[in-house]
Each structure stands twice: as structure tokens, then as C-alpha cells.
A and B are shown apart, each in its own frame.
Chain A
Amino acid sequence: MSTECHIFQARPSALRRREGLVFFCFRAATYFVLLCGALIFGTIVFKGAGSVFQVRAPFLNTTFLTEAPESLHVFEFHGQKMELGDGDYRVFQARHPDVARVKSESYIYSAGGIFPCIVGTVLLVLGSMAIALILGVSAAIYLNEYARDGRFIRFVRLAILNLAGVPSIVFGLFGFGMFVIFFGWNVSLLAGWFTLAFMVLPVVITASEESLKAVPRGFREGSLALGATKWQTIRKNVLPYALPGILTSSILGIARVAGETAPIMFTAAYVVRDKLPWQVDKFSEFFFQGVMALPYHIYVVSSKIPQNEYTERVQYGTAFVFLLIVALIATASIVLRSRLRNRYQW
């Protein structure tokens, strides 16, 4: 043992070198995953931002965000390269009749915007989360406040666990078989709402139960001791403290609902629809209409039309807007949750 070395000081050895190497591998794995995430995110933001933002005021491409998808016509006219959406093309044709002789290439969905898709996704998320929250929070209240451990409750919990593992396409098939065909709702908002709500139910139940569990027992016992009924206790002394937690955790469920394509493919989504959802004759028709949705639109534009410089704008633009919405929801959930953890301490 050399003298200048303290006896507790780590000495270099083969063991230590190996430790360093293995830990470096673990660290590399972690940062590799993060790097991949950053790359995917970066590519889509980098290429998609071009179709959403612009250099001139108002800096936002309002056409892309507020109009419906159109076909794009690309042609050469008097030595000038023209790119026009369907509507503009017709106006242009009326003004210059000789344009009909010019050969033009057209790409569907590549002009205009994605407004109907955004509206459709918002409607789908709102409706399905409303259903899922009512069902899920009530179920969690029963499981956490009323139920006693027994065979039945274990069975219910097993069902929740298994429901969480069912593939989303199976939910889509189920929704198609039950709501669309058996109930005769056709491809409609209502069918999509229920399909998505059932899919996200396990997430909501688990999140709600965790928040309810975090409320201390003393709150309930104090209330009961003062003569309140069970329901009064839950309403006044448990739910107010658990609700913020329930809502923030459920936001992650929202991100999942907004992001899923497979369940709405045959239950709620249309490839293209001219009318906006509120343009209905009767109020009841509102629930029985299909909508366009962002994830399905991405699927359509990325698989059904060729990839080139003209279609790229709408492809990356849609992906960017969609990713931005989902990312905002997810970030909100993560930030709110960590804040909440610091606020309530008991």
C-alpha cells in the first residue's frame, strides 16, 4: 500500500474500470433514447414549422389552420410555375380559359388547411373524456371508498388490468361491431366517443384511485365522527382534495385519446367531409355524424398520396400541429402533477 493514498480512497483496479465501463453503457443507453426522441421531434418541428408559421405578419399560416383540405394543382403557365388550391384554380381557369390546355398535375389534400381535422379531434377528445371521467371517477370512488376486499373486487381489478392491455385495434373492431353495426349508429361521433372512452377507462380509474388514496384517512374519519353520512364525507372532505389530482393525471389519458388512430378508423373518422360538425339540420344529427380527425388525416396523407415537395408541406405540417397539441397536453399534465405534489403535503 503506497503511503500517499488515504486508506478509504478509491484505488484504480480492474473491478473499478469494469464498473466505469458498464455504467457508461447504461448512461449511453439512456441518452441514446433521449437523443432519438429529440431527433424525431426535431425533424417534424423543423420541417413542419414551415407550413404553420411564416416570416410575414401575422406569422401564422392562417390558411393552413382555418381552411379545409383541397387538391393542389401544379402547372406551368406562360413560363411561370403556378401552385393553386382547387378553389383558386377554378377562379383562375375562368379568368384564363386557355389554362385548360396546359397540362396540370394535381395532388389531393395538399392545399388548403386542416381546420376540420382539428375540430374533429377536439370534439372526439372532449366527448370521450367526459364519458371516461364520469365512469372512471365513479368506479374509482367505489373501489377506494365503498368496496371491501373480496373476490368480486379482485375480479373487477383484474378486469381493469386486462382492459388496459387490450390492443387499440381490438377496441376499434369492438366499437364497429357494437356501436356502428349492432346499435346502428353508423360512423359517428357517438360511436367514436364510447370506443375511445372504454379504451382510456383503465388509465382514468388508476389515476383517480391514486389521487383518492393520497387523501389522508383522518379527513374521512373526522367527517364521519361529526355525524356526516358517507356521501357527505366523500363529497365535502374527499373529492375536493382528490379532484385536482384526478384531473391532472387524466390529462395523460387525453393525450392517449387524441393520439390513437386505430379505434376511430372504422367508428368515427371520415377521410374527407365537406361540412363542419356544427353545420347540421337538426341538433340530434350532431351526434350521428362522422368527423375528420388529425391522426387519421396523417395516416391518409402519409400512405395514400405520393411523397414529393408539394405534398410534404401538408404531411409535415399536419404531423407538426398534431404533435404540438399532444405535446402541450402531455407537458401540462407533467408540470401540473409535479406542482400539485408540492402543494398538498399532509
Chain B
Amino acid sequence: MASSRPTEGTHFIAHKGTFRLFGLTLGDCIKFFFGGNAVVSVVVLALITIFLFREGAGFFGENRENLEVYRQAGLEYVDYIRTQQDDHTALTRYLSDLRVRQVNYLTQQKKLSLAAANAALAGFDTFADQYGDAVEPIRTLVSDLTEQATAIKEKFTVTEDRKTQRAQLLAAGQTEAAAKIETVPIDFVAELKPILGTLPAYREAAAEFSRRLNAVIATAPAMPEPALQARLERFKELNAEYLAGFPSVLRNLESWDFRAPVPASRAFTSFLFGHEWRTASFWQDWYGVIPLLVGSIMVSVVALVLAVPLGVGAAVYVNQIASPFEQRLIKPSIEFISAIPSVVLGFFGIAVLGQLLRALSQVPGLAWVPGFPYAERLNILTAGCLLAFIAVPTIFTLAEDALNNVPRAFTEASFALGATRLQTVVKIIVPASLSGIISAVLLGLGRVIGETMVVLLCAGNRIAIPDFTAGLAVITQPVHTMTGIIAQEMGEVVQGSIHYRALFMVGLVLFFLSLGINYVAQGIVRRYRISIG
């Protein structure tokens, strides 16, 4: 391209540089104006990073404080015992599951009435009740300790609040008012003494607990069927493992020291690898991104499993097989589908698709499908289906472009060698455009992971890692996603609080995740582009 500015020192007849602003000609000014606008996208990208960090970075400091209080107020100590209690609850759930199976067996195989089945299970019920009640000594201890630890934490929070209040008053110059606010530093040693003093009581309670469990387990009634008997044996094993874990709990309690510093990395790892996202809880708030990340990934996987065959199949059909008339009809229609707003799709999911899929799952003939029938209307499957619908146009358009870029000569050479159309498509055209198709799928993934409204409305919004032991049936469970949690909780949090900053951190994770997907997609296109010619 020819430069519009004559080089220095030469004088052209048609030289027009008469008007100058700060030594720049008008042409230069215009050029810089346009150039400045081109830089905007770089600036915006940088600003996004900066502002997400600006609001989110404070999270780690506050989270560390949060974890320090957790330790110093003795909550950690209590949680060791509480975990023991929770594990026992999990075992009792196993027993009630076993009871349901027995009832099913008795009513369906043995054709007993429900009342008769319940009567036959009286022995089992006594056993299960006794097993459940055995935890009583531990439960009493935990509830006492919970009250004490919460009281310490409460005191600490009040003191902290007063400190900030005083700091604010001092900053405002009101020294007298500030002096009136008393802050008593908390003496954790004294406060924790009653909690630590319960160690002998715990020893006794744990011993009593295990004695009771051993006594109860010996009275386990025999099961009516070998398969159920195997489950009972498994339960006995689990119980033995559980009892074997008691000494290590005791060791944890004995060696527990509230003065042990919380390493700075804990604030980081408890976010990135934390298995719990619990906010506004009376006990302890946890900000772990894993349940949300898993939710996002599960929903996206379901969406892609549905969208990739449909999108790529449609692209191959339109590009290779369809008549020109069909092409003119289908391409704009799919483009049109991509314009349907996601919130409308989300509404459709709530109003129609959720019920429809649930009704479908309750059709008796479909009971063999994993997870069917299910009761929860909004779950991974509902959200995944709608997200697939969002991903299909993206995948279709980009994959169709990629197929279009395959040189004609490739196709013609294949036909000339006597290949059928199917052989040409499968062995020549798709492999030649594979890089484009893969990047189309990745960009579809990026679109799906970043989608907000559909998952917010249709994914069920239960913050927990789905139960993967259910196998494929996991897709009928509700989840919460990263995009969903930001949209849902951002409007309610206090500005500047740790929860607020945690949401910005989730946004940052999402931002880098989408940049990463984009980067990989572009890399694949660049690296494996076929040399044409």
C-alpha cells in the first residue's frame, strides 16, 4: 500500500501537508483516530482482566482470615468430631436404602402386601433404629461444642466489627467517638479451654459409641435374598472401616493446636480445590469452586454430546448432500435459530421442556435408560438439551465454513478414482477439514460454558457435586454452575465482602477458561491447516 505522506526533504508538486496540528497533518490525525479505535478491543480485554482482579484479588487475604478464625475459634476442632457423626449418618442412610430394597423385594417378588412386608421387616427396623441411636453420646457432645465454638466466633466478629467502626470514626476525624468504642482482644487460650477440656469426655463418648455399634452389628438380621445379604455384608465391612477410623480422629483432636498458622496457600487451594460452596451459614462459610466447575462441565458435556452429531451432521448434509434449494432454506433457518435469545430458551425449559422430559422419563417402556424415571424437573439433562440447541448453530456455521474450504480438486480426484460420495465425504472431505471441525466444536464448548440464563433457569441450582456413583444416571441430578452462581448471588451480596470477592474470582476462572478454550481452538486451526494446492 502506498504511503500518503511524502518522505522528509522531498518536495512534490501535489504536496498537501499545509495544515498541521502538533506536527501532524490532517491525514495523520485521522489515521491515529482510527488506529485508536482499533486498540479499543485490546484495551477492553486488558480492562476486563484488571477489573476482575481489582475486585477479586482481595479474596485470598480475606479467605485466609476466614480460615484463621475457623481454626482459632475451635470450629475446626469441632468439625473433626462432626465429620465422625456425619459419616455415621451416611451409614444409616445406607441402611434405609437397604430397607427400601427389601420392601421392593418382598412386595414385588414375594407378592406380599405392604403391611405384611413392613411386619416382616420389624426385626430389621429395630436393628436399624438401634444402629442410628448408638451415636447419641457423640451427638450430645457435638451440639454442646457447636454452641461454644459459635459463641467464640460471634465474640470475635463483634470485636472485628467494632475495630472497623473505630477505624472509620478515626478516619473521619471523630477521635472522641472512636475512643468510646471499646475493643477487648479475645483471649483464645481462655476461650478455648472449655472446648479443649472435653477431650476426656470425647474419649469416653467415642468408646461408648463403638461399644454400642459393635453390640448392635452383631444382632443384624439375615436378609431374605443373597443379593441383599451381599449388601448387608458390604455394610458390615463399611462399619468395620468406620470403626477403624476412630483412633485417627482421636489423634487429630489430641494434636490439634489453634496457634498453628494457616499457610497462605490454603486460602488459594481452598478456593480452587474446595469441595464446598456454602455461604451465609451460621457455622462456617466455604468458597470452593469445584462444585460449580463440575456443574458447568457436566452440563457442557451433555450439551456437546447432543450438539456435535447434530451440528456436524447438518453441516455435512448442507455442504455435500443437500440440493441448492435445501441449502438456501436451511442455512438462514439455522442462522435464525442462533438469534433466539437464551433467556427465551431458558423460559421454554422451565415452562415446557422440563415437564416434557420428566413425563418422558416416567414412561414405563423407557425405564432401562439410566436415571429414568426421575422427579426433579430441572436438572443437568434439561439444561444440557437447551444448551445443545444453542451450540448447534455455532458448530454448524463454523464446520460448514471448514468443509467449504476443502479444495474442489480433492473431491474431484476422489470421484475420478471411483469412490462413492460417502467414501469421498468420510475419507477425504471430513479428514481434510478436521481441524476446522474440531475448532468449531471447541468454540461451541466456549459458547456453552459461558452461557448464563439457560443454566440459571434450568440446571436446578443445587450447590453440590453430583453423585457420580450413580453412573450415567448422574445427568438427571440438579447442579449449579459458575455462570449461574454469579448471576444469582451478585445482586444480593454486600459490596466488598468476601462473598462478593469470591464471585469475582469465579468470574476470573470463567474468563481464563474461555480464553484457554479460544486459544486451543485457534492453535488447532493454525497448526493443522491443510496446505492447499
Most interface-central of B4, B311, B317, B343 (chain A CB within 10 A) = B343
Interface flag for B495 (CB, 8 Å): yes
Q: Is the CB of B35 within 8 A of A142?
A: yes
Q: Mark the stretch among A51-59, A95-103, A107-115, A177-185 that contacts chain B.
A: A177-185
Q: Is the CB of B47 within 8 A of A174?
A: yes
Question: Within the complex, what minimum Cβ distance (angstroms) separates A148 from chain B?
Answer: 7
Interface flag for A229 (CB, 8 Å): yes
Q: Is the CB of A330 within 8 A of B339?
A: yes
Interface flag for B486 (CB, 8 Å): yes
Interface flag for B511 (CB, 8 Å): yes
Given contacts A37-B333, A156-B38, A298-B344, 6 further A-B contacts (CB under 8 A): A29-B314, A143-B38, A159-B41, A201-B41, A302-B457, A315-B347
Q: Is the CB of B38 within 8 A of A230?
A: no
Interface flag for B253 (CB, 8 Å): no
Report the separation of the CA atoms of residues A331 and B27 in the bound assembly, to the nearest whole angstrom: 39
Q: Is the CB of B341 within 8 A of A326?
A: yes
Interface flag for B16 (CB, 8 Å): yes
A-facing residues in B288-344 (Cβ within 8 Å) = 309-311, 313-314, 316-318, 321-322, 330, 332-337, 339-344
Interface flag for A83 (CB, 8 Å): no
Q: Is the CB of B450 within 8 A of A334?
A: no
Q: Which residues of A contact B337 (CB under 8 A)?
A: 33-34, 37
Q: Is the CB of B511 within 8 A of A162?
A: no
Among the listed B36, B423, B511, which residue makes an inter-chain contact with A166, where contact means beta carbons less than 8 Å apart? B511
Interface residue range, chain B: 35 or more
Question: Within the complex, what minimum Cβ distance (angstroms) separates B54 from chain A?
Answer: 7
User: In the complex where A43-B348, A142-B35 touch, is A155 in contact with B389 (Cβ < 8 A)?
Assistant: no
Question: Within the complex, what minimum Cβ distance (angstroms) separates A16 from chain B?
Answer: 7
Q: Is the CB of B515 within 8 A of A165?
A: yes
Interface flag for B173 (CB, 8 Å): no
Interface flag for B350 (CB, 8 Å): yes
Among the listed A135, A182, A231, A330, which residue makes an inter-chain contact with B37, where contact means beta carbons less than 8 Å apart? A135
Report the separation of the CA atoms of residues A198 and B48 in the bound assembly, to the nearest whole angstrom: 10
Report the separation of the CA atoms of residues A138 and B41 in the bound assembly, to the nearest whole angstrom: 12
Q: Which residues of B contact A242 (CB under 8 A)?
A: none
CB-defined A-B contacts under 8 Å, sample of 30? A19-B420, A19-B422, A23-B317, A26-B321, A29-B309, A30-B322, A30-B330, A32-B310, A33-B310, A33-B334, A34-B337, A37-B333, A37-B337, A41-B340, A135-B37, A136-B37, A142-B31, A142-B34, A156-B38, A165-B517, A167-B451, A169-B486, A170-B514, A173-B503, A177-B504, A252-B339, A262-B483, A322-B344, A327-B336, A338-B332
Q: Which residues of B contact A7 (CB under 8 A)?
A: none
Q: Is the CB of B313 within 8 A of A138?
A: no
Question: Within the complex, what minimum Cβ distance (angstroms) separates B101 from chain A?
Answer: 36
Interface flag for A77 (CB, 8 Å): no
Binding site for A on B (CB under 8 A): 1-2, 4, 14, 16, 26-27, 30-31, 33-42, 44-45, 47-48, 51-52, 54-55, 309-311, 313-314, 316-318, 321-322, 330, 332-337, 339-348, 350-352, 389, 392, 396, 420-423, 443, 446, 449-453, 456-457, 483, 486-487, 490-491, 495, 503-504, 507, 510-511, 514-515, 517-519, 522
Q: Which residue of B lies closest to A252 (CB)?
A: B339
Report the separation of the CA atoms of residues A202 and B41 in the bound assembly, to the nearest whole angstrom: 8
Report the separation of the CA atoms of residues A37 and B314 in the bound assembly, to the nearest whole angstrom: 14
Q: Is the CB of B422 within 8 A of A23?
A: yes
Among the listed A135, A161, A259, which residue makes an inter-chain contact with B342, where contact means beta carbons less than 8 Å apart? A259
Q: Which residues of B contact A134 (CB under 8 A)?
A: 37
Q: Is the CB of A302 within 8 A of B351?
A: yes
Question: Within the complex, what minimum Cβ distance (angstroms) separates B55 from chain A?
Answer: 5
Q: Which residue of B lies closest to A234 (CB)?
A: B30
Report the separation of the CA atoms of residues A231 and B491 in the bound assembly, to the nearest whole angstrom: 47
Report the separation of the CA atoms of residues A115 and B343 in the bound assembly, to the nearest whole angstrom: 19
Q: Is the CB of A231 within 8 A of B515?
A: no
User: In the complex where A37-B337, A40-B345, A307-B351 touch, is A265 in contact with B491 (Cβ < 8 A)?
Assistant: yes
Q: Which residue of B lies closest to A175 (CB)?
A: B51
* A162-204 Cβ-contact flags toward B at 8 Å (1 or 0): 1101111111111011100110000000000000001001100
Report the separation of the CA atoms of residues A15 and B44 in the bound assembly, to the nearest whole angstrom: 55
Q: Which residue of A lies closest to B335 (CB)?
A: A334
Q: Is the CB of A30 within 8 A of B314?
A: yes
Interface flag for A255 (CB, 8 Å): yes
Question: Within the complex, what minimum Cβ distance (angstroms) separates A239 from chain B?
Answer: 12
Binding site for B on A (CB under 8 A): 15-16, 18-19, 22-23, 25-27, 29-30, 32-34, 36-37, 40-41, 43-44, 134-136, 138-139, 141-143, 145-148, 155-156, 158-163, 165-174, 176-178, 181-182, 198, 201-202, 205, 224, 227, 229-231, 252, 255-256, 258-262, 265-266, 295-296, 298-299, 302-303, 307, 312, 315-316, 319, 322-323, 326-327, 329-331, 334, 338
Q: Which residues of A contact B339 (CB under 8 A)?
A: 252, 255-256, 259, 326-327, 329-330
Question: Within the complex, what minimum Cβ distance (angstroms) separates A263 from chain B?
Answer: 9
Report the separation of the CA atoms of residues A112 and B330 in the bound assembly, to the nearest whole angstrom: 39
Q: Which residue of A lies closest to B318 (CB)?
A: A30
Q: Is the CB of A169 within 8 A of B487?
A: yes
Q: Is the CB of B310 within 8 A of A155?
A: no
Question: Within the complex, what minimum Cβ distance (angstroms) separates A121 from chain B?
Answer: 11
Q: Which residues of B contact A303 (CB under 8 A)?
A: 350, 456-457
Report the separation of the CA atoms of residues A81 and B344 in the bound assembly, to the nearest whole angstrom: 32
Q: Is the CB of A34 within 8 A of B341?
A: no
Question: Within the complex, what minimum Cβ distance (angstroms) separates B50 from chain A?
Answer: 9
Among the listed B14, B334, B343, B518, which residue makes an inter-chain contact with A295, where contact means beta carbons less than 8 Å apart? B343
Among the listed B321, B341, B507, B522, which residue makes an inter-chain contact with A258, where contact means beta carbons less than 8 Å apart? B341
Q: Which residues of B contact A176 (CB under 8 A)?
A: 490
Q: Is the CB of A178 within 8 A of B314?
A: no
Report the separation of the CA atoms of residues A259 and B332 in the bound assembly, to the nearest whole angstrom: 18
Q: Which residues of B contact A15 (CB under 8 A)?
A: 420, 422-423
Question: Within the complex, what minimum Cβ distance (angstroms) separates A192 from chain B?
Answer: 15
User: In the complex where A165-B515, A229-B4, A327-B336 touch, is A262 in contact with B330 (Cβ < 8 A)?
Assistant: no
Q: Is the CB of A169 within 8 A of B48?
A: no
Q: Is the CB of A331 within 8 A of B336?
A: yes
Q: Is the CB of A261 within 8 A of B342?
A: yes
Q: Is the CB of B341 within 8 A of A26?
A: no
Q: Which residues of B contact A36 (CB under 8 A)?
A: 389
Among the listed A169, A198, A230, A252, which residue makes an inter-chain contact with B44, where contact means beta carbons less than 8 Å apart? A198
Most interface-central of B14, B311, B490 (chain A CB within 10 A) = B490
User: In the complex where A26-B317, A139-B34, A326-B341 touch, is A148 in contact with B1 (Cβ < 8 A)?
Assistant: yes
Question: Within the complex, what minimum Cβ distance (angstroms) separates A129 from chain B?
Answer: 15
Among the listed A32, A138, A162, A170, which residue makes an inter-chain contact with B510, where contact means beta carbons less than 8 Å apart? A170
Q: Which residues of A contact B316 (CB under 8 A)?
A: 26
Report the separation of the CA atoms of residues A256 and B342 in the bound assembly, to the nearest whole angstrom: 10
Question: Within the complex, what minimum Cβ distance (angstroms) separates B305 from chain A?
Answer: 14
Q: Is the CB of B340 within 8 A of A326?
A: yes
Q: Is the CB of A177 within 8 A of B51?
A: yes
Q: Is the CB of A262 within 8 A of B453?
A: yes
Q: Which residues of B contact A44 (CB under 8 A)?
A: 344, 348
Q: Is the CB of A146 within 8 A of B42?
A: no
Report the separation of the CA atoms of residues A174 and B44 in the bound assembly, to the nearest whole angstrom: 10
